[in-house]
Amino acid sequence: MIAKTFLLLTAGACLAAGAAHAAAATKSAEVPDIELLAGKCLSVQVSGEDMTSACTGVLGITEYVDGRQGFYFMMASKHVLTLSGLPKNKNQKRAKGFAIDRMIFNTGSETAAPKVISATGHCAYRAFGKKSVTVRCSGKLPDSSDFVAAFLTDSSEEKDKAADDSAD
């Protein structure tokens, strides 16, 4: 089953997933920097398999020059589940999101190529800032099975307060 080939974490795994995005993109795109956010993985389910317990407290975000975006759900054992697509409306101010057109599984192994799967769905979130943000993604795979992934970021206010407290 697709979900059993699941993967995640480390910069190397993220870069490999980013390279898979670039290779799969219709336009040539440079692999962008990945922004890593701390928080809590609320849910990761693919094809009926609940993988939430393997999800770490790290979410990666990329945005390509052509507007393609990706959320990287970091999993145990260097595995990464990436959901990627293009924004529906680039002029949205507060609520943001993109239409998912692919899911990428990366085991973090240098010898195994990331597995790119076509998908349909949507990721939604509010603009990242001082408050915590919930990222919610859901959709379907070619075999009509469902997937759901959700992540709650730590707020930068909480991080700022923790940094101030540790400085005292």
Higher pLDDT, 97 or 46: 46
Structure tokens at 23: 């290779």
pLDDT beyond 50 at 143: yes
The listed range with the strongest mean pLDDT (79-88, 139-148, 151-160) is 139-148
What total number of domains does the chain contain?
Answer: 1
pLDDT at position 61: 92
pLDDT at position 12: 39
Strand partners, 100: 85, 121
Non-local CB neighbours of 116 within 8 Å, separated by 6+ positions: 20, 24, 102, 103, 104
Higher pLDDT, 10 or 56: 56
Higher pLDDT, 98 or 9: 98
- Given a contact cutoff of 8 angstroms between Cβ atoms, the answer to whether 7 and 78 are in contact is yes
pLDDT at position 29: 54
Higher pLDDT, 73 or 33: 73
pLDDT beyond 60 at 53: yes
Instruction: Tell me which residue range forms the domain holding 42.
Output: 2-167
Higher pLDDT, 29 or 47: 47
- Given a contact cutoff of 8 angstroms between Cβ atoms, the answer to whether 43 and 51 are in contact is no
Buried b / exposed e along 87-122 (16+ C-beta atoms within 10 A): beeeeeeeebbbebbbbbbbbbeeeeebebeebebe
pTM value?
A: 0.74
Lowest average pLDDT, out of 12-21, 31-40, 87-96, goes to: 12-21
